[in-house]
Every structure is written in structure tokens, then in C-alpha cells.
Chain A
Amino acid sequence: MNNDLYQKLVDLYAGHELSDELEQELETAAADDANLAFEMTSLRGTVDALQSDPGPKFTEESYQRILMKLYARGAAIQPKAPAPAHLQYHLPIMG
């Protein structure tokens, strides 16, 4: 197999885009080829690290600040008023 084809297969392997059969064939080939094995594991590790990134949190504060910015710029949108304190907590039932 030539290098270009290997490179394409490794790219597809890294992104989990190969069929199970082809993936196994490539892993078998990598058992005798340290460079290929490195390419496969390091690239797949990079993709997996990216895909497991939880990303920035869209916090309640950010949500409200964006609403305020829209409202301040005249958009027809209402910032949500915080829930009244007496609705935020459930009191234990007495008796």
C-alpha cells in the first residue's frame, strides 16, 4: 500500500469513519509498523480528546447578560425576572 493511501486510511481511522473490517485490517498492519501505529493512536487520541471536551458552560449569568444586551439594543425580548424568593423554596409540610 502506498503512503498516500495509508495517510487517508489513518485519517478515517482517527475519526472513527472506517468500517470494523477495515479498522481491524489497519490495526493488524500497525502491529508490524511502529510509525503507522504511532500515527493511528496519536491522531485518534487527538480526535477523542477534542470530542470529549465538554465545552464552555452556558451559565445562567451569560444567558441573562445576552438577554439584557438584546433588550438594551431594542430587540423585542424580555429579560426573565428572577423567580420570587417565596417560589424558590418548598417549605416542609407542618403537622
Chain B
Amino acid sequence: MRPSFPMPNDALSDSLAEKRWLTALSEGDPNALGGIYELYGERIFRYTFRMLGNRTDAEDATAETFLRVVRRSAELRADGAFRTWLFRIARNLCIDKLRQHKLMELPPDAQYSGAEERTTLRVTVHQALNDLPLEYREPLVYCDLEEMSAKEAADILNISVPALKSRLYRGRRALRDKLGSAMERTP
């Protein structure tokens, strides 16, 4: 079951926790990284899995993302832009991995995990998404899967909101076309 959309109180408490852990990190608190990992580990893992298509690479990329947070903690500002910055780090790592290992040419894990998720439609959606060019896949991952706002997704990609929306809409059409042909092939 998809996690429910965070209620305002959850968002507020996450924002306060983020501020607290970022301050702790800047002060060299040894518990700070653990706190930030608790807060964002799952989202970064899900994101890297969707970008890379397999669990092992997603775990590596997630660990590396948080290591870079520590190494670059001098750049941190608890001004609400941390999440964008964190996703940018994760994105750059994913793009490096895709380039280095040419993962796009390898078959990704066809299934996530858990019997209930192994429905044809979900596997097909996952496969079709992986077949899309990165230019289209990324806006779909940010906006439709990670439920980010267009502004936040555009900030991560360093493009304008209209450009993001244009890619998102073209991506949805491309995915629809891929799903259509996949469904026709499925007996």
C-alpha cells in the first residue's frame, strides 16, 4: 500500500526534525547522520531504486548519498532547500552509475518484492518506466511516484517549471504508448 500523503502536522514535524538534525550535523553531533538517515533513508532508497532498477545499486547509491551529506555538511543550510539538495546528490550518483555500468542496457529487476506486488500491471508499469529515456522518466518519478511539487522537481532538475511540465506530459504520453503496446503483447 502506498504511504498516505503526509498530513500538515507530519510535514511540520519532519521539517522541525530536519532542522534539528542539520544543526546537530553542523555541530559535529555523532547522532546527526543517523537522524537524517531515519528521516530520508526510505525516500532516497525508493528514488534510487526507481532510477537504477535494482536493489543492490539502490542500496549503494543511498549509502553514498548520505556519506556525501556528511562530507559536504559545510554547504548545508537548514532553509528548506535540504531535500532538494539531497535529491540532487542522489540523482547525480544515479546518473553516474547509469553511465558507468550502462545499466540501461541490462535487464533491471522485473519485480520489487512481495507477492501482492507481482501483478502484471505493476511489473509492466515498472518495465515501461525503465524503458523511457531519462528525460521523461525523471519527471514521472518525481511528480507521479514521489509526489513532489512541480517546483521542487524543477529545482532538482535545474529547469523551469514549464519545462518540467512539458517533459512530464510528454513522459506520460510516452509511458501510455509503451503500456499500450505491452498490454497488447500480454496474453
Contact = CB atoms under 8 A, between A and B. Distances in A.
B161 interface: no
B63 A50 contact: no
A70 B67 contact: yes
B91 interface: no
A65 B45 CA distance: 12
A52 B126 CA distance: 12
A49 B33 CA distance: 35
B62 interface: yes
B55 A50 contact: no
Given A49-B179, A73-B63, A67 B1 contact: no
A75 B67 contact: yes
A55 B145 contact: yes
B66 A50 contact: no
B58 interface: yes
Given A49-B121, A50-B145, A53-B122, A59 B62 contact: no
B37 interface: yes
Interface in A56-72: 56-59, 62-63, 65-67, 69-70
Given A62-B45, A66-B62, A57 B37 contact: no
A76 B33 contact: yes
Nearest to B140: A50
The range of chain A's interface size is: 20 to 34
B144 interface: yes
Given A52-B2, A55-B46, A58-B45, A11 B34 contact: no
B125 interface: yes
B55 to A, nearest CB: 6
14 contacts: A42-B176, A43-B176, A51-B144, A51-B145, A55-B46, A56-B49, A56-B50, A57-B117, A62-B55, A62-B58, A66-B37, A66-B45, A67-B37, A70-B66
Given A65-B59, A66-B41, A66-B59, 11 more contacts: A11-B169, A15-B172, A46-B172, A51-B147, A52-B2, A54-B122, A55-B145, A62-B58, A66-B45, A76-B32, A76-B33
Interface of B: 1-2, 30, 32-34, 37, 41-42, 45-46, 49-50, 55, 58-60, 62-63, 66-67, 70, 112-114, 117, 121-122, 125-126, 129, 140, 144-145, 147, 168-169, 172-173, 175-176, 179-180
Interface of A: 11, 14-15, 42-43, 45-47, 49-59, 62-63, 65-67, 69-70, 73, 75-78
